[in-house]
Structure 1
Amino acid sequence: MSSHNAPTRKDFPADFRWGVSTSSFQIEGAGQEDGKGESIWDRFCQQPGRIRDGSNGLVACDHYHLWPQDLDMAKGLGVNAYRFSIAWPRILPNGRGAVNEAGLAFYDRLVDGMLERELDPWCTLYHWDLPQLLQEQGGWTSRDTVAAFLEYTDIVTRRLGDRVKHWITHNEPWCSCMMGYWENIHAPGGSSLADAMQACHHVLLSHGQAIPVIRRNSKDAQVGITLSLHPITAASNSAEDLAALKRHDGLRNRWFLDPLFGRGYPADTLELIGDAAPKIVEGDLKAIATATDFLGVNYYFPEMVKNDPAGGPMRASLVEKHGVERTGFGWEVSPQGLVDLLTRIQRDYHPPVIQLTENGSTFEDVLTAEGRVHDKERLSYLQRHLAALKQALDAGVPVKGYFAWSLLDNFEWAEGYLRRFGIAYVDYASQKRILKDSGLWYGQFLNE
Structure 2
Amino acid sequence: MHKDFLWGSATASYQCEGAWNEDGRVESMWDRYLHEHHLENGDVASDFYHQYEEDIKLMKAGGQNAYRFSLSWPRIISDREGTINPLGIDFYNRVIDCCIENGITPFVTIYHWDLPQYWQETGGWLDHNVCAAYDHYAKVCFDHFGDRVTYWATFNEPKWCLVNGYLIGNYPPGEHDVQHTMNAAYNMMFASALAVRTFRQGNYQGKIGIVHSYTPVDGVDDTIQTQIAVRNADNYSNNWVLDTAALGEFPINLVTRLSQDYDIGLMKPEELKIIKDNTVDFLGLNYYARSLVKPYTHGETQLQFNNTGKPGSTKIVLKDWFEQVMDPKSEFTEWDTEIYPRGLYDGLKKAYAKYDLPIYVTENGVGGA
- 1:262–1:285 Cα contact (<8 Å) kept: no
The match for 1:227 is: 212
Q: Deviations over 1:337-390 (max 9, x none)?
A: 011111111122212x11111112344xxxxxxxxxxxxxxxxxxxxxxxxxxx
The verdict on how the C-alpha distance between 1:301 and 1:317 changes in structure 2, with shifts beyond 3 A counting, is same
Q: Distance in 2 between matches of 1:114 and 1:146?
A: 30
Identity of aligned residues (%): 34
The match for 2:309 is: none
- 2:248–2:279 Cα contact (<8 Å) kept: no
The verdict on how the C-alpha distance between 1:231 and 1:197 changes in structure 2, with shifts beyond 3 A counting, is same
The verdict on how the C-alpha distance between 1:183 and 1:143 changes in structure 2, with shifts beyond 3 A counting, is same
Aligned-residue offset at 1:287? 2.0
The match for 1:236 is: 221
Aligned-residue offset at 1:268? 2.0
The match for 1:339 is: 345
**2:356 is the alignment partner of 1:318:** no
Aligned-residue offset at 1:14? 4.7
Aligned-residue offset at 1:146? 0.3
Aligned-residue offset at 1:173? 0.6
Segment drifting more, 276-285 vs 225-234: 276-285
**2:363 is the alignment partner of 1:358:** yes
Q: Which has the higher contact order (CA 8 A, sep 6+)?
A: 1
User: Structure 1 unaligned runs (5+)?
Assistant: 1-8, 364-418, 420-448
Whichever residue aligns with residue 133 of structure 1, its letter is Y
**2:35 is the alignment partner of 1:46:** yes
The match for 2:286 is: 298
SS in 2 for 1:163: coil
SS in 1 for 2:45: coil
Equivalences, count: 348
SS in 1 for 2:347: helix
Aligned counterpart in structure 1 of residue 78 of structure 2, from 86, 93, 97: 93
The match for 1:422 is: none
Aligned-residue offset at 1:255? 1.5
- 1:245–1:306 Cα contact (<8 Å) kept: yes
Q: Deviations over 1:270-316 (max 9, x none)?
A: 23323435411122223223132211111110011122243435521
- 2:246–2:280 Cα contact (<8 Å) kept: no
Q: Distance in 2 between matches of 1:118 and 1:314?
A: 51
The verdict on how the C-alpha distance between 1:283 and 1:27 changes in structure 2, with shifts beyond 3 A counting, is same
- 2:337–2:367 Cα contact (<8 Å) kept: no
The verdict on how the C-alpha distance between 1:362 and 1:303 changes in structure 2, with shifts beyond 3 A counting, is closer
The match for 2:192 is: 207
The match for 1:173 is: 158
- 1:158–1:218 Cα contact (<8 Å) kept: no
- 1:234–1:245 Cα contact (<8 Å) kept: yes
Q: Distance in 2 between matches of 1:114 and 1:76?
A: 12
Segment drifting more, 127-136 vs 267-276: 267-276
Q: Deviations over 1:56-107 (max 9, x none)?
A: 1101001100111110111111111111100100111324422211111111
SS in 2 for 1:157: helix
TM-score by length of 2: 0.89
**Runs of 4+ in structure 1 displaced over 4 angstroms?**
none
Q: Distance in 1 between matches of 2:263 and 2:243?
A: 15
Q: Deviations over 1:123-145 (max 9, x none)?
A: 10000000011011111112100
- 1:88–1:95 Cα contact (<8 Å) kept: no
Whichever residue aligns with residue 222 of structure 1, its letter is K
Aligned counterpart in structure 1 of residue 267 of structure 2, from 276, 280, 285: 280
Whichever residue aligns with residue 190 of structure 1, its letter is E
Q: Deviations over 1:106-165 (max 9, x none)?
A: 111111111111111111000000001101111111210001101111112111111111
Aligned counterpart in structure 1 of residue 252 of structure 2, from 267, 285, 307: 267
Whichever residue aligns with residue 319 of structure 1, its letter is V
Whichever residue aligns with residue 42 of structure 1, its letter is D
